[in-house]
Amino acid sequence: MIYNEEFETLPREAIRALQVKRLQGVLQRVYHTVGYYKKAFDAAGIKPDDFQAMADMHRLPFTNRKDLRENYPFGLFAVPMSSIVRLHASSGTSGVSTVFGYTRHDIDIWSELMARSLAAAGLTKNDIVHNAYGYGLFTGGLGLHYGAEKIGASVIPMSGGNTKRQIMILQDFGPTAICSTPSYALHLAEEGKAQGVDMKSLKLRVGIFGAEPWSKAICAEIEQAFSITALNIFGLSEVMGPGIAMECLEGRNGMHVFEDHFIVETINPATGEILPEGEEGELVFTTLTKEAFPLIRYRSGDISRLITEPCRCGRSHIRMERVVKRSDDMLIIRGINVFPSQVEAILVAIEGLEPHYQLIVDKAGALDSVELQVEVSEKIFSESGGVKDLQNIERRIVKDMKDYLGISPRVKLVEPNTLQRQAGAFKKVIDKRKF
């Protein structure tokens, strides 16, 4: 089912023409309203008028996560605060977190793109949607919520956690669609089974999963566990949130990127060079309609490949393959993006700790588990009030990790110089998960 027939089936040439026209407007606007872009364009020796065709894309400077962090919290906003109606943010302490703003019009467009995504999964006003993405600063919960309301479906704003209650509601309210991270869906299936609930006999027909990497094998496992069709939804908060790309029921191969609102490119992450469509590389997104937080050539860090073959669903928008790799050190733990630098920032703020740590990420059943081993200083070890001090430090780490990053690691304090080093350096992250 195509929500916006006119724009989702535009001929390729018309899409390109629309992108050029819209981007020309965006470039003028960011150059004249956002100091950061003026500086970046001047440094690259380019003026907004120099962009005349898609072939000029490579001349525009990239925007990185570092640029967002350096302009924390509102430095990249292109409208005054009085025009902002919503803020979302990534996890992290100040300086390593990023903030995203939306005008009323931005929320309308986002809702429409989410409505398109849900329609691509076959949802209508007759569906009941169990939304188990987290509500709050994370874009998943509210993003899905507004889209589901827009198509007129009945939304259950479940958010994450409270698994027993979720299972009860799944049985009692009879939702026909479920939205969550793929790992949480598997967790629900496992818990349901443990409680003796037949998850296959629920009324669920389709699931819309994303926010973290998941393989085709996990997809098959979810489909089997609930007896549903499991579709992939992609997005990142910097660019908008969920609903940048969505797999359709008919194609089942890659996710359509809503190209009337975003330009997607693949680049060689090492050189920044644009790759021919179809080659694997880092996805770079440019927003074409966002008012509050426009982004020019944002390097997502996600590795994928663009699929140019027409899709049998009739949508003309290009597809991107399932994302399971990144070009940087970002981890996604239970759907939350975590950088080692953020863990480090938390640890160095605690007295008595060395910034020497190891993060060991694994699976405990369907969900991610994290162990954080941290070296304590010699001083603490020799002078401290013994076990009690160490326990306090441990508790503080657990609390700060939960408060700032939203993850709850098992913390193990270890003696100075005990973490394994290789050629003087130690491996900060050991990720044992398989995608």
> Phi-psi bin for 322: left (phi > 0), alpha (psi -120 to 50), beta?
beta
Is position 133 an interface residue for ligand DLL (rule: CB under 6 A)? Answer: yes
Q: How far apart are CA 178 and CA 118, in angstroms?
A: 11
Nearer to ligand DLL, 51 or 77 (CB): 77
Q: How far apart are CA 264 and CA 285, in angstroms?
A: 5
Is position 342 an interface residue for ligand DLL (rule: CB under 6 A)? Answer: no
Alpha-carbon dihedral of residues 359, 362, 365, 371, nearest 10 degrees? -20
In angstroms, give the least distance from the CB of 134 to ligand DLL. 9
Q: Which of 57, 29, 12 is nearest to 260 (CA)?
A: 12
Query: What character string, x for contact with ligand DLL (CB under 6 A) and - otherwise, covers 65-104?
Result: ----------------------------------------
Q: How far apart are CA 100 and CA 80, in angstroms?
A: 13
Judged by CB under 6 A, the residue of 48, 61, 242, 409 near ligand DLL is 242
By CB under 6 A, the count of residues binding ligand DLL is 20
Quick one: tokens of 127?
């569906």
Order the strands of the 325-326 sheet from edge to edge.
262-267, 281-287, 298-304, 325-326
Is position 232 an interface residue for ligand DLL (rule: CB under 6 A)? Answer: yes
Beta-ladder partners of 337: 332
Is position 357 an interface residue for ligand DLL (rule: CB under 6 A)? Answer: no
Per CB under 6 A, contacts with ligand DLL among 248-307 are 300, 302
CB 313 within 8 A of CB 251: yes
Nearer to ligand DLL, 139 or 358 (CB): 139
In angstroms, give the least distance from the CB of 302 to ligand DLL. 5
Is position 3 an interface residue for ligand DLL (rule: CB under 6 A)? Answer: no
In angstroms, give the least distance from the CB of 323 to ligand DLL. 4
Q: Which range of residues in 208-216, 359-367, 398-406, 412-420 is near ligand DLL by CB under 6 A?
A: 208-216
Instruction: Please tell me whether residue 358 adopts helix, strand or coil conformation.
Output: strand
Judged by CB under 6 A, the residue of 211, 222, 284, 303 near ligand DLL is 211
Q: How far apart are CA 431 and CA 370, in angstroms?
A: 9
H-helix or E-strand spanning residue 232:
strand 229-236
Q: Which range of residues in 30-38, 110-118, 133-141, 223-231 is near ligand DLL by CB under 6 A?
A: 133-141
In angstroms, give the least distance from the CB of 140 to ligand DLL. 3
Beta-ladder partners of 285: 264, 298
Q: Which range of residues in 25-33, 47-55, 211-219, 359-367 is near ligand DLL by CB under 6 A?
A: 211-219
In angstroms, give the least distance from the CB of 111 to ligand DLL. 14
In angstroms, give the least distance from the CB of 298 to ligand DLL. 10
CB 341 within 8 A of CB 355: no
Judged by CB under 6 A, the residue of 176, 237, 266, 286 near ligand DLL is 237
Peptide bond into 11 cis (omega under 30): no
For 92-129, the DSSP string reads SSTTS--EEEEEHHHHHHHHHHHHHHHHHTT--TT-EE
Nearest residue relative to ligand DLL (C-beta): 210
Is position 234 an interface residue for ligand DLL (rule: CB under 6 A)? Answer: yes
Is position 409 an interface residue for ligand DLL (rule: CB under 6 A)? Answer: no
Judged by CB under 6 A, the residue of 139, 289, 342, 358 near ligand DLL is 139
CB 266 within 8 A of CB 280: yes
Residues within the interface to ligand DLL (CB under 6 A): 133, 139-140, 210-213, 232-237, 241-242, 300, 302, 323, 332, 337
